[in-house]
């Protein structure tokens, strides 16, 4: 995609295993702080909803797909279903972003994942956020961080 500016997502679908919710909750805060709309099952699925229908509607509506990669994700039947749906649909093209939360055998979900550039969160969460936001030409702003020199002067 060299030379072309990639548009910010209209809405990004966050596929994840339940065991990774703590990480996803943290990521959602960053997306929200940077004005990026997302679909996240914890906040967008309500009681008494036909959740499988709601997931399908979200997958059809969203224009980007992020899959949180971890050992739990590679064992999740739903993460696999969502990923395979997106790969088969074809409309996402290069708008699939594997987010490496924990080292894992991603080929258990799909052998095709190796063709996508992963965003690595395993070493540092903030570096991962910088790399993710850079995809859409956005700078990462750490929440609550102001000018450090000004903050230090205020503390004196």
Q: Is residue 6 in some structural domain?
A: no
Tokens of 22: 């703590």
For the chain (156 residues), the mean pLDDT of every run of 10, in chain order, is 65 94 95 91 52 75 94 95 90 91 95 92 96 93 55 38
pLDDT at site 148: 39
Residue 80 maps to a domain: yes
Residue 1 domain flag: no
The predicted structure's pLDDT at residue 33: 93
pLDDT of residue 1: 45
Residue 5 lies in a domain: no
Q: List strands edge to edge, sheet with 12-15.
A: 38-39, 12-15, 64-69, 96-100, 119-120
Q: How many structural domains comprise the chain?
A: 1
- Residue 155: the pLDDT is 39
From 69, 64, 17, select the one nearest 36 (Cα to Cα).
Answer: 64
Q: Which residues are within 8 A (CB) of 18 and not within 5 positions of it... i.e. 6 or more apart?
A: 72, 76
Looking at residue 149, its pLDDT comes to: 38
**97, part of any domain:** yes
Supply the pLDDT for residue 154.
36
Range of the domain at 127: 12-155
Nearest CA to 78 among 26, 13, 31? 13
Say what the pLDDT of residue 54 is: 76
* 146 within a domain of the structure (yes/no): yes
Q: What is the pLDDT of residue 50?
A: 61
Q: What CATH number has the domain bearing residue 134?
A: 3.40.50.10140
Is 90 a domain residue? yes
Residue 100 lies in a domain: yes
């Amino acid at each position: 995609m060299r030379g072309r500016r990639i548009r910010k997502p209209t809405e990004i679908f966050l596929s994840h295993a339940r065991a990774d919710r703590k990480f996803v909750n943290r990521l959602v805060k960053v997306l929200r702080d940077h004005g990026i709309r997302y679909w996240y099952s914890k906040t967008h699925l309500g009681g008494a909803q036909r959740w499988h229908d709601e997931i399908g509607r979200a997958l059809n509506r969203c224009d980007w797909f992020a899959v949180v990669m971890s050992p739990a994700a590679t064992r999740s039947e739903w993460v696999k279903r969502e990923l395979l749906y997106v790969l088969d649909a074809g409309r996402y093209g290069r708008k699939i972003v594997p987010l490496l939360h924990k080292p894992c055998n991603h080929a258990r979900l799909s052998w095709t994942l190796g063709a996508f550039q992963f965003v690595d969160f395993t070493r540092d969460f903030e570096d991962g956020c910088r790399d993710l936001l850079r995809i859409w030409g956005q700078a990462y702003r750490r929440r609550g961080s102001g000018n450090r020199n000004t903050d230090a002067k205020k503390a004196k």
